């Protein structure tokens, strides 16, 4: 199917009547995902500063509210089942949602706040024809046109997008839009664009998980963290990071329970009620960040918890670069070498 760019704003205006439509928009000088009322606000083809994960896992969300009165305790759940579309997601962000699925819905546990949004959200991605220099998606089992996690993939042909369904849900969605069929020429052009698209950089992570198996007590961690400010920008802006904290906000007999993003880069994250903190310095926190993404997550879910989006590289105020860290780890001597 073909969507002319001149028709995108009108198409989104129509979708807004039926769905909550999230799209990348400009806000305070940055690109972020927001629910839009007007299609003209959408800035397709841009990579948001904050990842699209917040559509399914908001930075701050009310889980339920409660009230105690003469009739007892009354509670109201805040599960959000609004039919939604995330329009203009980057493939790395769509892939990250598949990784988050493992965490929020597994054999032991289902987070209904997340899974309800997930079931009710159609993901329309825009492939990256010109990835940024900080992108390394191709090195972490993905790529600029990876369809994992997307229902529909759009390829930028210049004046128009080629829209291809990835899932049954995506197929039904496209059929509803009554779009023009794509010609053979359009399809061939899209294939050429896809084959030319290269992630801006590469990192060889072969054997990394096994290397990290033997590195928990390695002296490499002693120095790595020294320039880190502990600001947590790297984790807040990471599409796969999913740590959160729960807080009760109450006044008199009314209140609500709220879930907020948290970060393993903060000292308070692991501070026990007793005052003991098992991660006393940046050393333990940086080690945890790397180990979780490239060792523990691989062990649990057979995938790295990194989609190579480059956001942590672009936004670290002291220029810490995860690509360099991974290369350095691979070069460390652990006494049990892997190729």
Which residues are near ligand SF4 by CB under 6 A? 228-234, 237-240, 265, 293, 306-312, 316-318, 320, 322
Closest to ligand SF4 by CB, 24 or 308: 308
Q: Tell me which H or E stretch contains 18.
A: helix 8-18
For the bound state, the minimum distance from the C-beta of residue 318 to ligand SF4, rounded and expressed in Å, comes to 5
For the bound state, the minimum distance from the C-beta of residue 137 to ligand SF4, rounded and expressed in Å, comes to 9
Closest to ligand SF4 by CB, 207 or 317: 317
Question: Which residue carries 């990071």 as its tokens?
Answer: 241
CA distance 300 to 278: 22
For the bound state, the minimum distance from the C-beta of residue 235 to ligand SF4, rounded and expressed in Å, comes to 7
C-alpha to C-alpha distances, 197 to 82, 152, 193, 249, nearest whole angstrom: 35, 18, 6, 48
Question: Which residue carries 């002291």 as its tokens?
Answer: 318
For the bound state, the minimum distance from the C-beta of residue 320 to ligand SF4, rounded and expressed in Å, comes to 4
Closest to ligand SF4 by CB, 190 or 237: 237
CA distance 295 to 304: 7
Closest to ligand SF4 by CB, 163 or 312: 312
CA distance 14 to 145: 27
Phi-psi region of 19 (alpha: psi -120 to 50; beta: other; left: phi over 0): beta
Closest to ligand SF4 by CB, 80 or 101: 101
For the bound state, the minimum distance from the C-beta of residue 246 to ligand SF4, rounded and expressed in Å, comes to 22
């Amino acid at each position: 199917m073909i969507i002319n760019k001149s028709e995108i704003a009108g198409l989104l205006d129509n979708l807004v009547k039926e769905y909550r439509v999230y799209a990348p928009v400009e806000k305070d000088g940055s690109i972020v995902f927001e629910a839009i009322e007007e299609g003209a606000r959408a800035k397709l083809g841009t990579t948001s500063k904050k990842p699209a994960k917040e559509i399914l896992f908001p930075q701050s969300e009310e889980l339920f509210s409660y009230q105690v009165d003469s009739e007892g305790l009354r509670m109201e759940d805040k599960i959000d089942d609004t039919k939604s579309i995330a329009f203009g997601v980057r493939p790395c962000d769509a892939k990250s949602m598949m990784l988050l699925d493992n965490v929020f819905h597994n054999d032991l546990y289902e987070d209904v706040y997340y899974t309800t949004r997930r079931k009710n959200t159609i993901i329309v991605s825009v492939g990256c024809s010109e990835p940024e220099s900080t992108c390394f998606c191709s090195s972490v089992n993905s790529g600029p046109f990876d369809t994992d996690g997307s229902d529909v993939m759009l390829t930028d042909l210049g004046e128009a997008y080629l829209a291809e369904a990835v899932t049954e849900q995506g197929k039904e969605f496209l059929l509803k839009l009554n779009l023009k069929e794509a010609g053979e020429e359009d399809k061939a052009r899209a294939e050429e664009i896809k084959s030319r698209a290269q992630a801006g950089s590469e990192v060889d992570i072969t054997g990394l998980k096994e290397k990290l198996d033997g590195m928990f007590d390695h002296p490499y961690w002693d120095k790595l963290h020294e320039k880190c400010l502990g600001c947590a920008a790297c984790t807040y802006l990471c599409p796969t990071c999913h740590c959160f904290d729960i807080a009760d906000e109450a006044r008199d007999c009314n209140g609500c329970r709220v879930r907020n993003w948290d970060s393993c880069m903060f000292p308070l994250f692991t501070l026990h009620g007793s005052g003991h903190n098992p991660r006393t310095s940046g050393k333990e926190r940086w080690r945890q960040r790397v180990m979780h993404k490239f060792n523990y997550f691989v062990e649990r879910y057979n995938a790295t918890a990194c989609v190579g989006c480059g956001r942590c590289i672009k936004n670290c105020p002291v220029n810490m670069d995860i690509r360099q860290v991974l290369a350095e780890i691979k070069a460390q001597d652990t006494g049990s070498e892997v190729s």
